[in-house]
Amino acid sequence: MKLSIKETSFFICSLVLFLSTIALDTAINISIQSFTKIIIFNICIVIVYQISLRKITFELLFNAFIFLFIFSRAISGIIYEDEALYMTINTYGSIEIDERVTKFIFSIYCSIIHISFLIGLLFKNNYSIPHANKPFLKKIFNHQIYSVNNNLLIILFIFFIPIQLSYINFIFTNGYLAIFNSDSFSGLIYKDLISRALYLSLPIAFIFQIKTFQSISKLLLFLIGLFISLELLTGQRGHAVLLGLSLYLYHSICLNKNIGVRRLIFYAFIGVIFIVSIDTLRSSESSESLLLIVLQGFGTTLNTHQAGIYFEENLRDMQNSFYSLYGITDYIERLLNPELGNVYNTRSHELLITSDYLGHKLTYLMNKETWLLGYGLGSAFLLELYIDFGKYITLFLMTIVLVSYKFYESKIKFSNGFLSSLIYINLLQYLLFLPRGSLSNFFPTLIFILLFYSFITVSSFVLSYMNNNINQHHDKKHVL
């Protein structure tokens, strides 16, 4: 965990720039545009330094996602010289935001970026060359699980491709917004179930090949690329992109692969093309410039934070439990009280007072009619923590989350089974999405992971037992 002189010097200089900006703003209240430009510059030099290390690391991706989700609208405001683009909430209503609120949001996220950066430097040995994972290779049962999973993967794709193509046609025919009111698509339940299974089955195959062969077959890469592409064509970029990034990061951790800056720029360019294409699909009827559409689209989560702080006292008054734990509390509540199923599936006053989801209450405060129609602002983990505990405890808890993750990450490359790696790949997706989602949502996913993996394991055990009996019977017959 020792820092080099270069690392220490850079971190101190970056931190001094950030703290000096805060001190200067406290003293003379600099303009929001100037404040934003300095903060963005500060974040950019941190990310550029991380890129120069030629490693795809969690903290690089984490900081890049914060920059993307929190600062995209600010960038549009700087490019078009219009601070109203990130100082006004125009989603489901119109609210002029005090510049102190926006400065606070930018400051707290810049603090988290520096915390993440420092933790990454301290845990840089996570990406050192790992020892050969011989215990994994020697576990014959891992090969049986891999075999069963491959057979399941084929079956899932046979059903997934026609259903997904039908769903894509449904979206193209009815428009992107039909995705939020897609009850008329008859195969939706099957599509969701098969997609969820593929989000686990593909990583299991990926884990085995990385642990066993230290490489990935072209067939598996094709299947992953096909799955992600078909998911992207529905206009839903989040889960598919996060799956690809989490698999790539797992690959980097296990194999310690350097990446050239040119290749990284190329990947980023391809990613931008995909993103722009999706936003073109989602905003085909908009008359605004494509650049503004993209920046404003990614930056909607800034509005969520601004609205959350604007309605801070109202949200605390409406609070039943911790917003930051709603994924757990709501899941357990629905499990213990099945009769609440209709309540959670219908926008109503009863849902508002039953659910601990901050997004419901926040959208209701913004525009009751819009919320009743099924629309929403969403939520964000940091905002949930802030409403629950205040800013200082929020920073402390975020630090605990990041440090705990890095300790878990350091153990992954030496794990001897699938489950810990499978949990890691899925947990990573929620951590990267923290600026725009809630960490507690991982709890229902964890339950599904355990159920799916139990099914694969039991199936593997049964088939292994049957094969052994058949072989023993064959051997006895041969002896006779």
- Per-residue model confidence as pLDDT tens digits over 183-200: 566 777 888 899 999 999
pLDDT, tens only, 255-269: 776 665 566 666 666
29-33, 100-104, 169-173, 383-387: segment of lowest average pLDDT: 169-173
Q: Report whether 461 contacts 246 (CB < 8 A).
A: no
> Rounded to whole angstroms, how far apart are CA atoms 174 and 161?
20
> Rounded to whole angstroms, how far apart are CA atoms 45 and 314?
38
Q: Is it the case that residue 240 has pLDDT exceeding 80?
A: yes
What is the average pLDDT score of the chain? 84
Helix, strand, coil: what percent of the chain each, to 5? 80, 0, 20
Give the list of residues 6+ apart from residue 309 with CB closer than 8 angstroms, or none.
101, 104, 105, 383, 386
Q: Report whether 160 contacts 224 (CB < 8 A).
A: no
Domain ranges of the chain: 134-255+394-464, 311-389
Helices (H) and strands (E) in the chain, counts: 23, 2
Residue 281 confidence (pLDDT): 56
Query: Which pLDDT band, with edges at 50, 70 and 90, does 300 fall under?
Result: confident
**Would you tell me the crossing angle of helices 391-412 and 381-389 to the nearest 10 degrees?**
130
Greatest C-alpha distance within the chain: 97
> Rounded to whole angstroms, how far apart are CA atoms 207 and 413?
10
Hey, how many other C-beta atoms are within 10 angstroms of the C-beta on 279?
A: 22
5-14, 180-189, 202-211, 289-298: segment of lowest average pLDDT: 180-189
Q: Report whether 315 contacts 365 (CB < 8 A).
A: yes
Average pLDDT of 47-69?
88
Q: Is it the case that residue 314 has pLDDT exceeding 70?
A: yes
What is the 8-class DSSP label of residue 38?
A: H
Residue 104 confidence (pLDDT): 95
Q: Is it the case that residue 164 has pLDDT exceeding 60?
A: yes
Residue 194 confidence (pLDDT): 92
Percent of the chain at pLDDT exceeding 90: 40
Average pLDDT of 9-25?
94
Percent of the chain at pLDDT exceeding 70: 83
The pTM (predicted TM-score) of the whole model is 0.87
Q: Is it the case that residue 274 has pLDDT exceeding 80?
A: no
Amino acid at position 136, single letter: F
Residue 479 confidence (pLDDT): 47
Query: Which pLDDT band, with edges at 50, 70 and 90, does 377 fall under?
Result: confident
Q: Report whether 67 contacts 43 (CB < 8 A).
A: yes
Average pLDDT of 4-33?
92
Hey, how many other C-beta atoms are within 10 angstroms of the C-beta on 458?
A: 11
The residue that leads in pLDDT, 415 or 433, is: 433
Average pLDDT of 310-325?
91
Q: Report whether 387 contacts 308 (CB < 8 A).
A: yes
Query: Which pLDDT band, with edges at 50, 70 and 90, does 151 fall under?
Result: very high
Residue 162 confidence (pLDDT): 92
353-367, 375-389, 391-405, 465-479: segment of lowest average pLDDT: 465-479
> Rounded to whole angstroms, how far apart are CA atoms 428 and 373?
32
SS3 assignment, position 88:
strand
Residue 265 confidence (pLDDT): 67
Residue 122 confidence (pLDDT): 86
229-243, 319-333, 354-368: segment of lowest average pLDDT: 229-243
Residue 19 confidence (pLDDT): 95
- Both structure tokens of 66: 């914060």
Query: Which pLDDT band, with edges at 50, 70 and 90, does 299 fall under?
Result: confident
The residue that leads in pLDDT, 242 or 137, is: 242
- Terminal C-alpha separation, the chain: 65
CA-angle at 127, arms to 121 and 132, nearest 5°? 155
Q: Is it the case that residue 375 has pLDDT exceeding 60?
A: yes
Q: Is it the case that residue 134 has pLDDT exceeding 70?
A: no
Query: Which pLDDT band, with edges at 50, 70 and 90, does 133 fall under?
Result: low
34-48, 172-186, 406-420, 458-472: segment of lowest average pLDDT: 172-186
Q: Is it the case that residue 401 has pLDDT exceeding 60?
A: yes
Q: Is it the case that residue 131 has pLDDT exceeding 50?
A: no
Dihedral pair phi/psi, residue 369, rounded to 5°: -65, -40
Residue 95 confidence (pLDDT): 85
Q: CA separation (Å) from 193 to 301, 386, 470?
A: 28, 34, 34
Q: Report whether 357 contacts 344 (CB < 8 A).
A: no
SS3 assignment, position 477:
helix
Average pLDDT of 211-220?
87
